[in-house]
Amino acid sequence: MSRSTFNSSPHAATSPPGRAPAQRHSRRRLRACHECDLLVKLPPLRPGEQASCPRCSHTLVSRHRRPAQRSMALALAALIALLLAVSFPFVSFSVGGFGNRIELTQTATTLIGFHQPVVAIAVILTIAVLPAVYLLGVIWLQLGLLQRRPLPASRAIARSLAHLNPWMMADVFIIGALVSLIKIAGMAQIELGIAFWAFCAFALLLLFTMQSIDADWMWFSLAGEPRAPQGARTGVTAAEQGLTGCPTCGLVNRLDADGHGQCGRCGEPLHTRLPHSLQRTWALLAAATILYIPANVYPIMTTTSLGHTAPSTIVGGVVELIQMGSWPVAAVIFVASVIVPVGKLVALAWLCLVVKRSNELNATSRTRLYRLTEFIGRWSMVDVFVVAILVALIRAGALMSITPGPAALAFGAVVVLTMLAAMTFDPRLIWDSPLPREASSVQGTP
């Protein structure tokens, strides 16, 4: 029998787990946990409180005080900070009478000149374009909600916001900028521009904006909340009842006989489980593993100093930082570029292997491992951002210059592929009962 206890508190703590028969409740405010599929009923929540799944502790809802005003103010402030960051000099350096000053956008445009357009597009999208689109979407949505009259296309925009979250990496770029500056601080004089501090403020404000979004309240305000399907029972999984929770707006929907459907509130395609989840995850992991080899064998950048050219691999860069005495920076690069990608590949592969043998005793720890792999994947982009910044900044010809190497594209692809692998893995499979032997070959299909 599944656990059916449920609790909400300001600290998202759950009550001691207990067991009770599945219950029929009012068909309003039901939620299916996105990580274990348990169907629960949301209690009334006050500002500052959270509701968590009693089985896997996944946060279902976070309630905020004045959510529309708060998100609107933060989004406007973040957008202003971004405009300042792209309008003024970002950083400059000088050495031996030579120097260079760059703007934020040059970290991407310079890469195009070195025949790295894919890396350039990835950099500008993740640090400026996608965050700007996200902030404009938040402002558009909250403006309509403040007027109590949603503006056109609000539902489509609200759906898009959830899909944009993992791909905004302004905070990762700041870490990359700090690593870059530390690497060249001993060789040249560095001066931080207005845009650098504006971008730091932008990264913090963007993070606060993302955390301020109360998706449950937002969707309720945009489109209300239809009743859950007739006969829905809490305390058991949604899949057992032919139901599923929308991953975008949270509404519980009934699926057709084939396990497919469409959310009645936001229009998101729905499935009992993500189609071919394990097969897709394995394919993405295999591609990432193959690309990780050239990402480490080939140089990620080439440094020219006083006419001497020296290619540098990812591990070689870590060793160089250690020799310079920058142990903390070397540790950051080593963790982000070696430990995280390898750890994520191993963790996801292990989850795919053991998912058929999971039970409720070990499902909690395996779900926590999945959350960790999903969270840390984007931080591997630090090395790509370091290359982008140094290539744009260090351009003093034979005296001192840095050019990108072929490993930059390969490593960026590894980061993207591992992020996609985590997204395609369905954590609800961890909590499913083991399939019969004859059905195990198609595990992960709806």
Q: What CATH number did the domain enclosing 388 receive?
A: 1.20.140
Q: β-strands 39-41, 308-312: how paired?
A: unpaired
CA 286 – CA 293 distance, rounded (Å)? 12
**Do 333 and 382 have their domain in common?**
yes
- Per-residue pLDDT tens digits for 328-387: 878 888 888 889 999 999 999 999 998 887 666 688 889 999 999 988 888 889 989 999
Whether 188 is covered by a domain: the verdict is: yes
Mean pLDDT of 7-18: 36
**Do 172 and 85 have their domain in common?**
yes
Percent of the chain at pLDDT exceeding 70: 87
Whole-number pLDDT of residue 6: 45
**Do 168 and 285 have their domain in common?**
no
Neighbours of 15 (CB within 10 A): 12
The SS3 assignment for 131 reads helix
Dihedral angle sign, alpha carbons of residues 349, 351, 352, 357? positive
Whether 385 is covered by a domain: the verdict is: yes
Categorize the per-residue pLDDT at 307 as very low, low, confident or very high, splitting at 50, 70 and 90: low
**Do 135 and 201 have their domain in common?**
yes
**Do 37 and 169 have their domain in common?**
no
**Do 290 and 259 have their domain in common?**
no
CB 377, CB 344: distance < 8 Å: yes
Whether 291 is covered by a domain: the verdict is: yes
**Do 174 and 106 have their domain in common?**
yes
Whole-number pLDDT of residue 128: 95
> Residue 438 pLDDT > 50, yes or no?
no
> Residue 200 pLDDT > 90, yes or no?
yes
**Do 95 and 201 have their domain in common?**
yes
pTM of the model: 0.85
Structure token digits, residue 409: 């594209």
- Per-residue pLDDT tens digits for 140-156: 999 999 988 889 999 99
CA 298 – CA 405 distance, rounded (Å)? 7
Percent of the chain at pLDDT exceeding 90: 52
CA 275 – CA 408 distance, rounded (Å)? 32
**Do 300 and 253 have their domain in common?**
no
Spatial CB neighbours of 193, under 8 Å, sequence gap ≥ 6: 88, 89, 90, 91, 92, 101
Whether 380 is covered by a domain: the verdict is: yes
> Residue 73 pLDDT > 80, yes or no?
yes
CB 337, CB 379: distance < 8 Å: no
Q: What total of structural domains would you count in the chain?
A: 3
**Do 92 and 210 have their domain in common?**
yes
> Residue 421 pLDDT > 90, yes or no?
yes
CA 287 – CA 417 distance, rounded (Å)? 7
Mean pLDDT of 19-23: 40
CA nearest neighbour of 147 among 72, 225, 44, 65:
72
User: 204: domain range?
Assistant: 67-218
Whether 46 is covered by a domain: the verdict is: yes
CA 37 – CA 272 distance, rounded (Å)? 10
CA 319 – CA 333 distance, rounded (Å)? 10
CA 393 – CA 110 distance, rounded (Å)? 9
CB 107, CB 392: distance < 8 Å: yes
Whether 59 is covered by a domain: the verdict is: yes
Whether 429 is covered by a domain: the verdict is: no
**Do 71 and 169 have their domain in common?**
yes
Whether 163 is covered by a domain: the verdict is: yes
**Do 246 and 335 have their domain in common?**
no
> Residue 18 pLDDT > 60, yes or no?
no
